[in-house]
């Protein structure tokens, strides 16, 4: 049985992280959250006080810092220059900064080889915005997840509330709308449905239903590539 590379792309709040993690578990594959890499560069930029408009310094920063995705048991986290990074990259603010800095081609270029290295051994579920289109255009299985705008905002909002943050749903709706715009209108690797990707609308599906559907496709591809 071949251990394949699976890409999952889609807009913020389409359910990518949750299903990608569950699918990876079910297949005994490695889950790779590429948004965490962009968020970590965003954090580093914030710490160094680099302006979001300074493409040159942002590119230089992304090339200079050492970012690793680390797994300990079933917990995964990021290391930035040898230091463990926690939930501080999961705030809406860092999401916004990540979205801004991800427009810079030097940043994308720096993270490209890291992402390809991470996926090179196969047996991975890699989630992001340009995985099936740019990072792994020859992935054996590609998914594109979508959901209605209202539903996506609601999911993001619930996530934050469950983490103990007090935020208004309307604020999150604004955030999601802005992020959609930046992510899909940027010049370098915009969010698009990759060629050959299977589109799943997750608005009215449960996590289990989505994962079961993806799992069936994965098993088919694994046997086809054996």
- Strand order in 75-80's β-sheet? 67-72, 75-80, 83-85
Nearer to ligand DC by C-beta: 80 or 222? 80
How many H helices and E strands in the chain? 8, 8
CB of 42 to ligand DC, least distance (A): 8
Nearer to ligand DC by C-beta: 34 or 202? 34
Q: Which residues bind ligand DC (CB under 6 A)?
A: 12, 34-35, 38-39, 95, 98-99, 102, 128-131, 179, 183
3-class DSSP state for residue 222? Answer: helix
Look up residue 182 and give its two tokens.
Answer: 């930046």
CA–CA gap between residue 61 and residue 139 (Å, rounded): 29
CB of 39 to ligand DC, least distance (A): 6
CB of 194 to ligand DC, least distance (A): 12
Nearer to ligand DC by C-beta: 27 or 33? 33
Q: Quick one: 19 exposed, middle or buried, by C-beta within 10 A (0-12, 13-18, 19+)?
A: buried
CB of 158 to ligand DC, least distance (A): 15
CB of 151 to ligand DC, least distance (A): 16
CB of 12 to ligand DC, least distance (A): 5
Nearer to ligand DC by C-beta: 30 or 130? 130
Neighbour tally for 12: CB within 10 Å: 23
Nearer to ligand DC by C-beta: 16 or 218? 16
CA–CA gap between residue 25 and residue 53 (Å, rounded): 39
CB of 35 to ligand DC, least distance (A): 2
Nearer to ligand DC by C-beta: 15 or 95? 95
Strands 141-146, 83-85: pairing is: unpaired
List, in sequence order, every residue forming a beta bridge with 145; answer none if it has no partner. Answer: 200
- DSSP label of 4: -
CA–CA gap between residue 219 and residue 92 (Å, rounded): 36
**Structural element, H or E, at residue 31:** strand 30-33
Nearer to ligand DC by C-beta: 67 or 130? 130
């Amino acid at each position: 049985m071949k251990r394949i590379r699976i890409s999952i792309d889609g807009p913020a709040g389409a359910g990518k992280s949750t299903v990608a993690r569950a699918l990876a578990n079910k297949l005994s594959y490695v889950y790779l959250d590429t948004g965490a890499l962009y968020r970590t560069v965003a954090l580093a930029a914030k710490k160094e006080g680099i302006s979001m408009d300074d493409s040159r310094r942002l590119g230089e920063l992304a090339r200079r810092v050492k970012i690793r995705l680390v797994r300990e048991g079933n917990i995964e986290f990021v290391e930035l220059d040898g230091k463990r990074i926690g939930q501080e990259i999961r705030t809406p603010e860092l999401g916004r900064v990540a979205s801004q800095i991800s427009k810079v081609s030097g940043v994308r270029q720096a993270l490209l080889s890291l992402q390809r290295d991470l996926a090179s051994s196969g047996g991975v579920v890699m989630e992001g915005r340009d995985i099936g289109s740019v990072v792994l255009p020859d992935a054996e299985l590609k998914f594109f997840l979508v959901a209605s705008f209202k539903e996506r905002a609601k999911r993001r909002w619930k996530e934050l509330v469950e983490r103990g943050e007090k935020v208004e749903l309307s604020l999150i709706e604004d955030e999601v709308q802005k992020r959609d715009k930046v992510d899909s209108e940027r010049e370098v690797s915009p969010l698009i449905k990759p060629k050959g990707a299977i589109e799943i609308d997750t608005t009215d599906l449960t996590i289990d239903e989505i994962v079961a559907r993806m799992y069936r496709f994965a098993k088919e591809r694994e046997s086809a590539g054996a």
